[in-house]
Amino acid sequence: MLTHPQFNPVALDLTPLGLPIQIHWYGITYLVAFGLFLYLAGRRVRLPWFANAGWQRRDVEDLLFFGVLGVVLGGRLGYVFFYKPAYYLQHPLEIFHVWKGGMAFHGGLLGVMVAMALFAWLRKRPFLQLMDLIAPCVPTGLASGRIGNFINGELWGRQADPSLPWAMVFPQSGLDIARHPSQLYQFGLEGMALFVLLWLYARTERAQGQVAAAFLFGYGVFRFIAEYFREPDGFLGLLTFSLSMGQWLCVPMIVGGAALWVWCGQRAGAGVKA
């Protein structure tokens, strides 16, 4: 049985030099995520079906700006409304206390979709085409974020059999018990595995919207599986059918992704143009 290494969350501390600057590992993982997005999306705009539609590198840089706004605003509001609506109804000003933590992926996803819809409207671009462009570039950012969670020793897993070779004690949990390092499971599933599958699938031109649909479906399935190993939020616990909130939020992603994939294929087969 292992023990979490208890990394120092501060990667670089310049305060001893008289500079009020601390660079945290979690911030670095965000920068890595943004850099990977720029690189991967920059490659995708060179694919013939995107290049012929007029997509260029500068569009990618603008998309990143819109995406960051969507992630931050949507992730925060998602946490507020999905996980602690009663608390924030009583303490509305704390919604803005983002430095205390509290972000939700599913809220961030909705925020990004709204931001991308706004971008598509402003640039007169088909929304589904835009989502197909960026979808395969997202999982590496998710993987980077899960590494940040592991470094911080947060979002730990459920109790595991101590004989499991990679079972780990997370002192931050307050209990000296073996747990699943669920952050690393999520890194592997919704991060790297989803990236490889989507990247290979998206190398060939698909019916418009099907790559985005595959992301919704794939993320929903992988996250649903990973939630069986992740400790549910203490203030919520397990909900109906012993599923976590994260799993319930994945259900519409799985169903919606599958339905969107079928609808886009039928639409393309009928010769409907975007």
pLDDT recorded at residue 97: 66
For residue 263, the surrounding DSSP H or E stretch is helix 245-269
Please report the sign of the dihedral spanned by the C-alpha atoms of residue 63, residue 68, residue 70, residue 71: positive
Q: Does 146 belong to an annotated binding site?
A: yes
pLDDT recorded at residue 273: 57
pLDDT recorded at residue 100: 61
Cβ(116)–Cβ(70) under 8 Å?
yes
Alpha-carbon distance of 185 to 146, in angstroms, equals 9
In a domain, 158, yes or no: yes
| Amino acid letter, 111 | G
Domain count, the chain: 1
Beta bridge partners of 168: 2, 179
- Cβ atoms < 10 Å from Cβ of 180: 23
In a domain, 274, yes or no: no
Alpha-carbon distance of 223 to 5, in angstroms, equals 25
CB-based contacts of 54: which residues, under 8 Å, 6+ apart?
none
| Amino acid letter, 208 | Q
In a domain, 74, yes or no: yes
In a domain, 230, yes or no: yes
pLDDT 10s per residue in the chain (274 long)?
899 999 998 999 888 888 888 888 988 998 999 999 999 999 999 999 999 999 999 999 999 999 989 888 888 888 888 778 888 888 788 777 665 667 777 788 888 999 999 999 999 999 999 999 999 999 999 999 999 999 999 889 999 999 999 999 999 999 999 999 999 999 999 999 999 999 999 999 999 999 999 999 999 999 999 999 999 987 788 999 999 989 999 999 999 999 999 999 999 887 665 5
In a domain, 7, yes or no: yes
Closest CA to 274 of 112, 65, 133: 133
Alpha-carbon distance of 141 to 146, in angstroms, equals 9
37's tokens: 């997005």
> CA geometry: angle at 146 spanning 142 and 150, to 5°?
170
Q: Can you state the percent helix, strand and coil of the chain, rounding each to 5?
A: 65, 5, 30
In a domain, 197, yes or no: yes
3-state secondary structure of 117: helix
Which stretches of 89-244 are assigned E, i.e. beta strand?
168-169, 178-179
In a domain, 221, yes or no: yes
pLDDT recorded at residue 72: 84
Cβ(71)–Cβ(108) under 8 Å?
yes
pLDDT recorded at residue 90: 82
In a domain, 161, yes or no: yes
Q: What is the DSSP string of 49-82?
A: HHHTTT--HHHHHHHHHHHHHHHHHHHHHHHHHH
Q: Domain range for residue 122?
A: 2-269
pTM of the prediction? Answer: 0.89
133's tokens: 């462009």
pLDDT recorded at residue 99: 57
Closest CA to 129 of 208, 54, 38, 67: 208
